Chains A and B, each alone.
Chain A
Amino acid sequence: MAQPTSPPAEPAVADEAAPGRTDGSDAAGLGRLRAALFVTPALLIIGVFLVFPALWTLYLGVTDYRLTGIAAARPSFVGFANYVRALTDPLFHNALWLTLLFVFGSAIIGQTVLGFGLAWTLRSAPRWVRGTVESLVLLAWILPGVVVAFLWIALLDSDRGTLNALLGTAGHAWLVDNPMTVLIVFNTWRGTAFSMMLFAAALAALPPSQLETARLAGASGWQTVRDVVLPHLRRHLLTNTLLISLWTFNDFTPYLITAGNPDHRSEVLPVYIYLTAIPGGQLGFGSAISLLMLVINLALAFFYLRLLRERRS
């Protein structure tokens, strides 16, 4: 463990513990031992709360571990049985499909389109309109999930819900009849602020003379967006899509609104995993699905980063 710069005869530990040492590998002059002491608490916390659960999940995924019963006391190794079961489970397929629908509808379409639309139209809006709309959109984003979930349940309640009162459709059970539509609209409403702010910042960096050149050429609003604005936003568009699709993919708020009901019709992956592992008690199986979800996340991220790198070169 001796450093290349240490005198060979000296014991390495004593040398590194010596105060006031400043060679290239020790900029703070602490010595390796003391530096390690400072880092240890952080490493311990990361280890206990991040690395250990991750490895534990890996381990659980190949057992039949349950929350209660004999398998909880003495889980047995089942190999890839959990993975095989997940990949052939219609409920897993259902959850995956609903998640893709959720991501595509609320993030890629809903938040991106609405966020860009807001950023683009608010540019030329009077200051007070802009301030009001931005504050409202941001509010939806910063309110705690539990609070907004409760608001939406109150909004959509079939008997005394605000929406039914407004539409005069008393008795319509939105959460039962259109659970996925509700979730998609909800998440669009909840998450648009991020896309709006990102696009607003990107638009502020677009030279006004380019937009004016298009205006002078007689370009319509749509032509200006297509020819000048979108090419300018391409990089931001990719980054934004990557971030919001990952966030939406892993979002657990749907559980607070529909809890996967009715009949698994709003059971997106995070909800499915939770229902399987905790109330369902099948920790081993739940861990296996979690790992599959992680793989999908990585694949998504990899795909976007590849696209981004291609744009750059």
Chain B
Amino acid sequence: MSEIELTGLRKVFEGGVRAVDGIDLTVADGEFFALLGPSGCGKTTLLRTVAGLESADGGTIAIGGDDVTRLSPGDRDVAMVFQDYALFPHMSVVENIAYPQRVKRVPKAERQAAAAAVGADLELAGLMDRRPGQLSGGQQQRVALARAVAARPRVFLFDEPLSNLDARLRLSARTFLKRLQRELAVTTVFVTHDQAEALALADRIAVMEAGRIRQVGTPQEVFRRPANTFVANFIGSTPMNLLPGVAVEGGVTVAGVRLPAAHSVAAGTELVVGFRPEYATASAEDLPGALPGRVAIVEHLGTSLLLTLESGDLAVGVTVPEDAEPAPGTSLWVQPRPDRLLLYDAGGGDIIEA
């Protein structure tokens, strides 16, 4: 068992920046857990504090039930993969992979055999005698992974392990990483600023902002029901529509249009109405519960188009199939799917439950 339990964890940098500001979090044994957030949100600091590279200023860290808060990094039984891979340029691939074992004084033959076996699993079989400088970016990334795997730790910590790869390679490396983690079933925490990567890889995601966790949930939960407008803004490859509205009996009005929605707030309350461009349809004629607008911008997303409509003072996004490209200036009506409509508190930005 190697679940990670963080209780009230705090890390304050010189100058009073609260990089990690009282975080309570449990990562289950064998879980693939993503820390997601914009740069400067404290996700990397949180990971480094779990690793022991930063000392906690408050709270506790437990791995597998053992309090490791005051242990040095080498005694925590964790392995980390860095964004720059941190391979030793003067060592061959096999020496790099076997390095943690060498520090633990495992006999040379034994540790090299283990390194070769892990290397073969990670498609590095023919490269074991090369130096890191002679490898491609993808190969270097797999060497860094192999070094973490060969250490047989209780926990993997990945700090943006895919962000130095080019876009095409990143997708295949993503699949590779997910399969590897499934097979090894080692508790894994990884940091990313890429919401698509987090959604694709993680069993659960914690979305962070300014040292705090704004939402924890499965990719579906975080994508379908963002707990607040910050998460709603951050998650999704197209920006979610967040429009000012007013509650009415059995619905909301946005720019004078009544949209049906179940809620329990008093009529007349101001709130924010959210829906994803993918969860709305555009039609050429006026439908009930549809916002009128004029096409201002057309963006090609591949299989679909993202239209940005001007609707009075508001900008409304909607996706349409690739073969239905409207000319800019066309009048359209956007009808959100009622079951995908989200209501947020206008002040705090928290979701309003139905």
B99 within 8 A of A: yes
Q: Shortest CB–CB separation between residue A94 and chain B, in angstroms?
A: 42
In the complex, are the beta carbons of A212 and B88 less than 8 A apart? no
Given A227-B99, A231-B90, is A219 in contact with B84 using a C-beta cutoff of 8 Å? no
Q: In this complex, what residue of A is CB-closest to B80?
A: A216
Q: How far is the CA of A218 from the CA of B80 in the complex (A)?
A: 12
Asked whether B88 lies within 8 Å of A210 as measured between CB atoms, the reply is yes
A227 CA / B89 CA spacing, docked (Å) = 11
CB <8 Å contact, B88 and A217: no
Supply 7 further A-B pairs (C-beta < 8 A) apart from A209-B82, A216-B79. A212-B51, A212-B82, A213-B80, A215-B74, A217-B99, A218-B75, A218-B104
> Is B100 part of the binding interface, using a Cβ–Cβ cutoff of 8 Å?
yes
A10 to chain B, nearest CB (A): 57
Number of interface residues of A (CB under 8 A): 17
A-contacting residues, B54-83, CB 8 Å: 72-75, 78-80, 82-83
Residues of A within 8 A of B85 (CB): 209
Expressed in whole angstroms, the Cα–Cα distance for A108 and B47 within the complex equals: 42
Q: Does B74 lie within 8 Å of A218, measured CB to CB? A: yes
Which chain A positions have C-beta within 8 A of B53?
Answer: 212, 215-216
Residues of A within 8 A of B89 (CB): 231-232
Closest 7 CB pairs of A and B: A218-B74, A209-B86, A217-B100, A231-B90, A209-B82, A213-B86, A217-B103
Pairwise interchain contact A218-B88, C-beta atoms closer than 8 A: no
Q: Does B151 contact A (CB under 8 A)?
A: yes
Take A215-B73, A217-B151 as given contacts and tell me if A207 and B86 are in contact as well, using a CB distance cutoff of 8 Å.
Answer: yes
A232 cross-chain contacts in B, Cβ below 8 A:
89-90
A228 at the binding interface (Cβ < 8 Å): yes
Chain B residues in 8 Å Cβ range of A212: 51, 53, 73, 80, 82, 86
Number of B interface residues in the complex (CB < 8 A): 24
Which chain B positions have C-beta within 8 A of A207? 84, 86
Asked if A40 is at the interface (CB within 8 A of a chain B CB), the reply is no
Provide the main secondary structure of the chain B interface.
Answer: loop
Once the chains bind, are B78 and A216 in contact (CB under 8 Å)?
yes
Cα–Cα distance between A218 and B78 once the two chains are bound (Å): 10
Q: A231–B88 contact, CB under 8 A?
A: yes
B-contacting residues, A212-234, CB 8 Å: 212-219, 223, 227-228, 231-232, 234
A75 to chain B, nearest CB (A): 57
Do A219 and B74 have beta carbons less than 8 Å apart?
A: yes
Cβ-neighbour of A209 out of B78, B84, B99, B104 (below 8 A): B84
A125 to chain B, nearest CB (A): 15
Contact of A218 among B51, B82, B83, B100 (CB under 8 A): B100
A210 vs B51: C-alpha distance in the bound complex, in angstroms?
A: 14
Q: A213, A219, A227, A234: which contacts B82 (Cβ < 8 A)?
A: A213
Q: Which residue of B lies closest to A230 (CB)?
A: B90
Within 113-143 of A, Cβ neighbours of B (below 8 Å) are at none
Interface residues in B21-73 (C-beta closer than 8 Å to A): 51-53, 72-73
Inter-chain contact B86/A210, CB cutoff 8 Å: yes
Give bound CA distance, A209 to B82, whole Å: 7
Determine the chain B residues whose CB is within 8 A of the CB of A223 once the complex forms: 103
Q: How far is the CB of B42 from chain A (nearest CB, A)?
A: 18
Query: In this complex, which of A209, A210, A234 has the most chain B Cβ atoms within 10 angstroms of its Cβ?
Result: A209
Chain B residue with the shortest CB-CB distance to A223:
B103
Q: Which of B116-150 contact A (CB under 8 A)?
A: 147
A214 to B51, CA, bound (A): 12
| Residue numbers in A under 8 Å from B83 (CB-CB) | 209
Q: List 9 A-B contacts (CB under 8 A).
A: A207-B86, A209-B85, A212-B53, A213-B82, A213-B88, A216-B51, A217-B99, A218-B72, A218-B73
